[in-house]
Structure 1
């Protein structure tokens, strides 16, 4: 099942709604206020009464989660990406946070701040936690997964790599576009065998498989839950494969007008356009069209 958040394009108030993608149309879930609420309720989305059905053209897709308690990101988690980054192979997962301000939806325009000249892309498989997890053994970790989505871990390398910690270069507004939806875990029983890729203006830049992860999904859930309680709706973004702009010769940085498509097998394609920061930022960050 594909679970998503959206608003009706004809609704002047842009009320957030929850829906499921069924046969190419979006069926609204009548009593659900947020996807996080659905996950926390423990009810399967199939048990929630359906309301109006919308065509995809009638809705604006939002990030499939807008209010997670935590967004935990994993750095340097593909072997070849570690090599291209010229960094030592990690012995334990490299962690950094992103926050709700970073989230953006499929089709949103992502603003490159004036301070950033080395804006990079990173296609990632993201895990959505389904129930409270504390000191979960690796062997049962998959029981705590609600589903999966695509995240583009956008990074300001000129900030990230010139400061003693990564947060300011990673947690920029809009720098974690996610979506287009969450695919429930029952539809992806083998998250460690998914093709992952990214295109920049139609050209393939990243192409790999989640089988190349150094620390796989069950390991990460167990590792994290040993010291932090994972809550329903938390996001774990598992790292990016090789091919990022920083690792290329010559290096490739995102510029205004660039279109990035991050795709993961069995989930879908997350598409965003990058734009320059203006002196007066509009409240509507939706890309034209």
Structure 2
């Protein structure tokens, strides 16, 4: 199971740490897992999982227990109260589609039933329609925030993860009286995330690569975002309270395409890892 593309960026366990990882000096890769029927969390170092106890977003410490990566079942890296997904947040795609530059973030919510983990199959909906992949960066909130400033926003970010904002494209505008964003993006398993949450990163330096059956379909820099990570956290927190574990999907860029049953989609982000899911019946 290849979940990290650069294991040298993973630091081993240390003493209890604070909730905010924005100032963490070196990247660490956090994950949630199931082992022997129990759910736990910890850090990934190479092919080993170092178990921790406590609150992943607050005070926690290593238990000293180490599992082989192949011995655990990876879960969605957080259990968010909500996932917020951006529309028209990348200049390249907005210009290609001739979309007006938004004055504020445009977003929707992905339903909890859509959350899925690395290696979990993406279920084919019972309805007909073209199902598309959208490789994205996810911002994971680490500290409750309401109406935070752009300057303070990074202190409320825990880390970053890979995500696939799966959509039944044909549903979106099928009814001229109502754009069906929630339904189109809310089917079971339509929001794979993971495999880890990486802390201590500068999101503006990251690049998203999406592969369909091994072929690169998307390759774009996060620096092309219309609203930066800090701006997204700040502006969205003006609308609603963000809680630890909540995820903001930053939107996608050019190269979005359709999947057919049996296809495998991988979303790889430098210094985070590679999220892989097979689309099937």
Partner of 1:55: 68
- Structure 1's 174 and 85: CA in aligned 2 closer, same or farther, altered over 3 A? farther
Runs of 4+ aligned residues of structure 1 deviating over 6 Å after TM superposition are none
- Per-residue deviation, 1:49: 2.9
- Structure 1's 137 and 90: CA in aligned 2 closer, same or farther, altered over 3 A? same
Structure-2 separation of matches of 1:84 and 1:116: 27
Partner of 1:284: none
- Per-residue deviation, 1:178: 0.3
Which of residues 240, 252, 268 in structure 2 aligns to 1:263? 268
Check if 1:203 corresponds to 2:203. no
What's the secondary structure of 2:184's corresponding residue? helix
Partner of 1:248: none
- Per-residue deviation, 1:160: 1.9
Structure-2 separation of matches of 1:269 and 1:23: 14
Kept in 1, the 8 Å contact 2:132–2:167? The answer is yes
Q: CA RMSD in A?
A: 1.4
Check if 1:127 corresponds to 2:139. yes
Gaps of 5+ in 2: 1-27
- Per-residue deviation, 1:75: 1.0
- Per-residue deviation, 1:58: 1.1
Kept in 2, the 8 Å contact 1:116–1:159? The answer is no
Check if 1:6 corresponds to 2:33. yes
What's the secondary structure of 1:38's corresponding residue? coil
Which of residues 149, 152, 160 in structure 1 aligns to 2:172? 160
What's the secondary structure of 1:169's corresponding residue? helix
- Per-residue deviation, 1:7: 1.5
What's the secondary structure of 1:241's corresponding residue? coil
What is the TM-score when the length of structure 1 is the normalising length? 0.83
Structure-2 separation of matches of 1:114 and 1:204: 28
Aligned ranges 1:1-289 → 2 under 5 Å: 1-8=28-35, 11=36, 14-29=37-52, 31-32=53-54, 37-39=55-57, 42-43=58-59, 47-66=60-79, 68-163=80-175, 164-165=178-179, 166-184=181-199, 186=200, 188=201, 190-245=202-257, 253-276=258-281
Aligned residues: 251
Q: Which structure has greater helix proportion? A: 1
Structure-2 separation of matches of 1:79 and 1:112: 31
What's the secondary structure of 1:226's corresponding residue? helix
Q: Deviations along 1:41-100, whole A, 9 cap, x unmatched? A: x22xxx41324211111111111013x122111111111212344533322211100122
- Per-residue deviation, 1:118: 0.7
What's the secondary structure of 2:70's corresponding residue? helix
